[in-house]
Structure 1
Amino acid sequence: AISLEMGALVFLRGSVNFQHFVLSMLALAARLATVKTQMSCITQDYYLPSNQQVFNITSPNYPGAYRPGTNCRFRLIAPYAHVVVLNCIFDVYPNACGTEYFYISRDGDLDFREGETYCTNTNIVRNSYFRPMTVGYYSASPSTNQQGRFFCQAYAQRQPCNCGWTTQTRITNGQEATKHEYPSMVALRDIGSSQQIFCGGSIVSNRHIMTAAHCINVQPDARRIIAYVGDHDLSSNTESIFAVQHRIQQIIIHPNYASTANGVVNDLALLITIARIEWSRGVGPICLPLLQSSDLFTYRTVDVTGWGTTSFAGPKSNTLQKVELMTVENSACETQFNTTITAAHICTHDYRGLGQDSCQYDSGGPVILRQQQQLSQPSRMYALGVISYGGTCGSRYAVGVNTRITSYLRWIWNYLQNVGGVCVP
C-alpha cells in the first residue's frame, strides 16, 4: 500500500473504503481551517503615554517559543510630538536564518515596506521616525524545527520641534524630484473634475495647507477639494508608503486678494483639513521664515516644484518635477510683465537660461529655499514664496511672479498659532 501523510491523517490505499476517505478528508479540511485561523493574530495597538512609562511587548507563549507557522504584528503609537523608543531581544534556536523572522518598521508601516528584517539572535535598539512604529514576527512553516521568541520594551520620548526636512540631498540638473525629496508638497484635486490636479500647495501645520488664492477660483467649494500629501507619482496608488488623501474643511482667502489687468496682489490662501496631518518621512511642514522676516532673500538659489505641465500648454506630469531658479530684484518682473509689482511679491528667474520655470497647474506651490542654520545640522526647507503667475513657461531666462511669504507672516500666524505642530527653527 502507498502511504500519504497530511497532518495527522494517514491514508492507506486499499485499507479503507471511499466513504471513509471522504469523511477523513472533510475532517482534515476542518482542522486545516482551524489552524489557518490561528496562524495570524489581529494587529495589536499600544498607545504609549507621554510620561515615559515602559510597556512590555512579548511574543505569544513567552518565555516559551511562539507557535510555529504563526505571525503577529504590534503597532506602537506615541503621543503627538513624541517618538517611540524600542529595545528588543529576538531569540532563534538554532541560531541561523531559516524559517523565523522578526520585522521592524520605524515608519509604522503595517506591511513593513522599507523596514528592517532579522532572522538570527539580535538585540535591537531603535527610535521611530515619528509617532508610529510597528514590530512583528513571522514563522514560515508549521512543521519547522526552528523556534523563536522575542521580548521588547517601549516608551514614548518627546521629539524636538522640526520642519522642512527631506529624505534626500539636492540633486542638481535633474527635473524629476526624488521620492519624498519635498515632504511638504501637496497636490490639489477637484473630485468633480477629470483633471488630475488643478494646483499645488505646501503643508504649514498639521491642519493647514498654503496655496494661491487664485487657485480657489478653480474650485471654491471646500467639500470638493482633495489634498494629496506624501505623494510622488500621482498615477500610482502603491508607489509611496506615505501617501494620504485629506479632505478640506474650510478655505481662507486673503481678504485683500485681487486679480486685475494691472496684476495679481495678495494671492494667498489657507486650506484647513478635516483630519490632522500626520508627520512622516514623506509628509511634513515646510518652515516659515519667521525669524528672517526682514530679509529680502535676493539672489538666492531656490527650488520650485509641482505636477504641472512640462511645457506651455503641454501634458501634466505624473511625477513631481523640480526646477532650480534664482530670486532677483522685483524690477525684473516689472520690466517683463508691465504690471504692478509690490514689495509683497518675490521674483524668480531662470538664471541659467535652461528654459526651466513653473508652468500651468504649478500655481500655489512653494518657492523653496534650502538653508542650513548650523554646520552640525541638516539644511531645512523654507517657503519664500507661493507661485502666482508668469509668462510663457519654457522660455529661456524667463521670470515668474510669486507671493512673498515674509509680507504675510502675521496673517498666516494668526491662523496657525493655536493649532500646534508649527515649528520656529
Structure 2
Amino acid sequence: MTEANVARLLLFVLAQVTFVMCQDADALAKQSCTQVKRDVFEERVAISFFFANAPVRWETIDSCHGSRPLIVGGTPAEPKEFPPMARLGNRDRNNDTKWICGGTLISNRLVLTAAHCLYSEKGAVNVVRLGELDFASDQDDAEPEDFVVQEIIEHPDYNYQMLYHDIALLLLDRAVKFSVYKHPACLPFVDGDRSENFIAIGWGHKKFAGRESTKLLKVKLTNFGTRCLTSTDLDELPNGYNVSTMLCIGSPELKDTCNGDSGGPVLNYHDDYPCMYHVMGITSSGIGCENANVPSIYTRVHYYLDWLRQELAKSR
C-alpha cells in the first residue's frame, strides 16, 4: 500500500471514529433531556374501579404543555417560562451581591456560562441564583434559590482576553431539586446551522450603557449564518470568526443582547417537548447593543458536546 493510500485510510478511520463519538454524545444528550422531561412533567397515577377485586390501572399524566409562540420583541418573560435560566454573581462577607452574568442549568449540579465571565471586575463568581424572575419583587410567581459555587471549570483551550472557546461550567455546592421553576435545558442535538431563529434571555442592560433590567427579558433573534466572517472586527478575535465554534446571531430590527447578558443562553424549542428548550449558544461578544443588522457572536454549544459529556460524568 502506498503512503498516499495509507494516509487516506487513516483519514477515513479518523472520520468514522469522530462520527461515532458525535453520535454517542448526541444520544446521551437526548436520553438526559427525555429523563428530565419525565421527572418534572410526568406523573404516574393509579386508576381504580368501584367494585371488588378490580385491578388497579396506572396512567401517566403529562403536564408538558404551553409552548409559547416565538416572541418578536424584547419583552418580560412569563412565570416558569425559562426554568434553566441562571444568574451569576459575586457575594461578599456582608452578603451584598453584585450580579455579573447569565448562565444555563444543564444538570442537577452544573451551570453553563461564558469563560470570560470568570474574569469580571466585580469579583469572582461565587453564587448562582436559579428560579428567579423579577429581582425587584418577592410577589412574582417565582421560586428563587441561591447556590454556592463549589468549583469553576474553564474550558482548557480558553485564553483570557480572547473569545475563542468562551465556555465554562460552574459546579454547584448541592444538587438542584427539579421543578417547573428550575430544571435543566437540553444540550443541542444539532449544531444550529439550519436554525432560522433563536430566543435570547437575560437580565442585562436594555440599551448600551443603560441600566440592567430587574425583570428577565426575552427576545427573538435571527441566524446570520457566516455574516460574522466579514462583519466582525474585534480585538478579542485576532484570528477572525470561527465558523465551527461560534454562532453568528442578530436581528434586522433594534433587538439584541447587551451588557450583563454575557454567559446567558440562546435557546431553541424542543421539537417534541413543548416544555423544554435546547441551549444552542452562549452569549459571548458583540458590537454595542440594539444595532440593526449588526450580529453578535455566541459560543456554539454543540461543538463542545464531548467536553461537556466528560464534565457531566465527573459531576455525578
TM-score (structure 1 length as normaliser): 0.55
Pair 1:359-2:258 in alignment: yes
Higher strand share: 1
CA–CA separation in structure 2 for the residues paired with 1:251 and 1:205 = 15
Separation in 1 of the partners of 2:209 and 2:97?
Answer: 14
2:198 matched residue in structure 1: 302
- Equivalent residue number for residue 237 of structure 1: 138
Question: What SS does the aligned partner of 1:251 have?
Answer: strand
Give the counterpart of 1:249 among 146, 150, 159. 150
1:337 deviates by 2.3
- 1:391: how far off? 0.5
2:76 pairs with 156, 176, 179, which one?
176
Deviation string 1:308-364 (CA, Å, 9 cap, x unpaired) is 00000000000001111112223435423254111211110213x2x1101001000
- Distance 1:402-1:241 versus aligned 2 partners, 3 A rule: closer
Give the Cα–Cα distance (whole angstroms) in 2 for the partners of residues 173 and 271 of structure 1. 31
Provide the C-alpha distance between the structure 1 equivalents of 2:217 and 2:257, rounded to a whole number of angstroms. Answer: 9
Shift of 1:379: 5.9
Whole-Å separation in 2 of the counterparts to 1:345 and 1:202: 17
Instruction: Say whether 1:323 aligns with 2:222.
Output: no
| Preserved CA contact (<8 Å) 2:151 2:172 | yes
Alignment partners' CA distance in 2, 1:220 and 1:235: 23
Change (3 A) 1:404 1:328: same
Q: Name 2:311's counterpart in structure 1.
A: 415
- 2:15 corresponds to: none
Distance in 1, Cα, partners of 2:192 & 2:245 = 10
Q: 1:273: Cα distance to partner?
A: 0.4
**Bigger helix share:** 2
- Asked whether the 8 Å contact 1:333–1:401 carries over to 2, the reply is no
Query: Partner of 1:145 in structure 2?
Result: none
- Cα pair 1:167 1:281 within 8 Å, conserved: no
**d(CA) in 1 for partners of 2:177, 2:147:** 11
Is 1:313 aligned to residue 209 of structure 2? yes
Matches within 5 A, 1:24-423: 81=39, 169-170=68-69, 172-174=71-73, 175-192=75-92, 196-218=98-120, 221=124, 225-260=126-161, 263-289=162-188, 291-292=189-190, 295-337=191-233, 339=237, 340-342=240-242, 343-351=244-252, 353=253, 355-373=254-272, 377-378=273-274, 380-419=276-315
* Cα shift at 1:168: 5.0
Instruction: Sort the Cα spacing of 1:158 and 1:196 in 2 relative to 1 into closer, same or farther, 3 A.
Output: farther
The separation in 2 between residues aligned to 1:378 and 1:84, in whole angstroms, is: 17
Query: SS at 1:414's partner residue?
Result: helix
What residue identity is the alignment partner of 2:311?
Y
Q: How far apart are the structure 1 equivalents of 2:194 and 2:45?
A: 46
The question of whether the paired residues in 2 share the 8 Å contact of 1:184 and 1:202 is answered with: yes
- Structure 1 406/281 Cα, relative in aligned 2: closer, same or farther at 3 Å? same
* Alpha carbons 1:187, 1:200 under 8 Å: kept: yes
Mark the runs of 5 or more structure 2 residues left unpaired by the alignment: 1-37, 48-57
Confirm or deny: 8 A CA contact 1:206 1:285 kept in the other structure.
yes
Q: 1:297 to 1:404 in 2, by over 3 A?
A: same
Deviation at 1:397, TM superposition (A): 1.8
Whether the 8 Å CA contact 2:187–2:279 is kept in 1: the answer is yes
Check conservation: 1:298, 1:328, Cα contact below 8 A: no
| C-alpha distance in structure 2 between counterparts of 1:308 and 1:302, whole Å | 17
Residue 337 of structure 1 aligns to a residue whose secondary structure is coil
Q: Residue 305 of structure 1 contacts residue 323 of structure 1 at CA under 8 Å; is this kept in 2?
A: yes
CA distance in 2, matches of 1:278, 1:173: 32
TM-score (norm 2): 0.73
Structure 1: which 5+ runs fail to align?
1-79, 89-155, 421-425
| One-letter code aligned to 1:278 | K
Cα distance in 1 between the residues matched to 2:274 and 2:67: 11
Which protein has greater RCO, CA pairs closer than 8 Å, 6+ apart? 2
Q: 2:155 corresponds to which letter in structure 1?
A: H
Counterparts in 2 of 1:412 and 1:305: CA distance versus 1, 3 Å:
same
Deviation at 1:280, TM superposition (A): 0.6
- Aligned partner of residue 258 in structure 1, secondary structure: coil
Greater Rg over alpha carbons, structure: 1
Write the distance in 2 (CA, Å) between the matches of 1:365 and 1:178: 17
Residue 418 of structure 1: how far off its partner (Å): 5.0
Q: CA deviation at 1:159?
A: 10
TM superposition shift of 1:158:
10
For residues 301 and 163 of structure 2, the distance between their equivalents in structure 1, rounded to whole angstroms, comes to 15
Count, aligned residues: 260
Cα 1:298/1:336, change in 2 over 3 Å? farther
Task: Tell me, in whole angstroms, the C-alpha distance in 1 between the residues paired with 2:142 and 2:255.
Answer: 30
Say if 1:229 and 1:245, in contact at 8 Å, map to a contact too: yes
* Corresponding letter in the other structure for 1:349: G
How far, CA to CA, are the matches of 1:231 and 1:196 in structure 2? 15
